[in-house]
Structure 1
């Protein structure tokens, strides 16, 4: 395993470069996931990559897994602070597949629902469908995304050591830490991802390359 320090700007460029090298036969659309605990800020990297892809003329759609959670009656069935429920039940994979990922399969419509459920109001967002043009790129961010058999062309995992994760997770969210420990043990996202980035220090990430 080789670990190479990289600046945040260069990391965003590298991911954009990697997306540009992915096969796009027939103007197919690409689906890219940025996986990481909130403390790793995967959405910030996704936003930075979005900016660079747009400058290159690529159509981009940003989607967050936080807008595809199950209703509170399901998420909180075992209480508000159940780590196993957070790991297993919070993400509405069916809605994410149906409304976002499957419509971007080759030959499909490209019509995507960018948000599905508002956890604050516990109601559907009533968002309008948008169409991602051919050669467009979906950038999805969120925690615990890998190991779910989601159809993705590229996956980026932002890894945190247990100490960094605990240190940077707000007190009111520390009940989720066992879920991330379980994710590391059962899923090993750093090994599954196409690109893994050590993010203990957000100002000085490091790219992990497995030999």
Structure 2
């Protein structure tokens, strides 16, 4: 297995280069997937300004803003790992409002957030329009087994030991949700040590 070590800045530069290499006559959708303990949002955020510096308009979306209402998320209790894995994310809403508008021939009109989990109400966010060549960066856990449309997928891999060590006590009930989660991604990053990430199977 080919594994290439990078610095955090090198990882960002690598991913930015891959995204920028995608055609500019359409839209690019990049999914940054990882357990909450891997902080996929942090890596996704780090991609925004470098892409904009290359002339790519960017929208950042977090799956935490596309959760289902509490009555559906907690139907089997607030700490049910199966529900966390398969029932928390509003997959249809994410596709309909954020991803599908960036299909070939799409209008680029994206809703950046749909549901406020804290208030359990719709966010009433305004639609934003990405011009051709624009990039949507979506980050969150357990994204890559849901057939979400994307031009680039990134998985931040944690070993079971690192996942357990870095998961806060009040979130340890989520650990079984990751037990057999082994997604295929365009880019897999070993992320036990975020200060020493490593690309797996890429050159």
After TM superposition, the score normalised by the length of structure 2 is: 0.97
Match of 1:140 in 2: 138
1:119-157 deviation digits (Å, cap 9, x = unpaired): 111000010100011100000000000021111000000
Match of 2:120 in 1: 122
Structure 2 unaligned regions, length at least 5? none
More helix by share: 1
Q: Say which SS state the counterpart of residue 54 (structure 1) adopts.
A: helix
Count of residue correspondences? 203
Match of 2:201 in 1: 209
Q: CA deviation at 1:110?
A: 0.7
RMSD, matched Cα: 1.1
Match of 1:75 in 2: 73
Question: Please, which of 44, 50, 55 is the counterpart of residue 42 of structure 2?
Answer: 44
Q: Where does 1:114-193 land on structure 2 (aligned, <5 Å)?
A: 114-183=112-181, 188-189=182-183, 192-193=184-185
Is contact 2:23-2:133 (8 Å) kept? no
Q: Which runs of 4+ in 1 moved over 6 A?
A: none
The whole-number CA distance in structure 1 between the counterparts of 2:200 and 2:177 is 23
The whole-number CA distance in structure 1 between the counterparts of 2:148 and 2:36 is 20
After TM superposition, the score normalised by the length of structure 1 is: 0.94
1:64-113 deviation digits (Å, cap 9, x = unpaired): 01100000011000000000010110010000011000111121111110
Q: CA deviation at 1:210?
A: 6.2
The whole-number CA distance in structure 2 between the counterparts of 1:12 and 1:162 is 24
Q: Does 2:191 correspond to 1:199? A: yes
1:25-83 deviation digits (Å, cap 9, x = unpaired): xx100100000011111111111111110111110000001100000011000000000
Q: Say which SS state the counterpart of residue 62 (structure 1) adopts.
A: strand
Question: Please, which of 97, 100, 103 is the counterpart of residue 102 of structure 1?
Answer: 100
Over 3 Å counting, the alpha-carbon distance change for 1:134 and 1:23 in structure 2 is closer
Structure 1 unaligned regions, length at least 5? none
The 10-residue stretch of structure 1 (37-46 or 151-160) with the greater mean CA deviation from structure 2: 37-46
Match of 1:9 in 2: 9
Q: Say which SS state the counterpart of residue 182 (structure 1) adopts.
A: coil
Q: Say which SS state the counterpart of residue 103 (structure 1) adopts.
A: helix
Is contact 2:5-2:198 (8 Å) kept? yes
The whole-number CA distance in structure 1 between the counterparts of 2:123 and 2:133 is 27
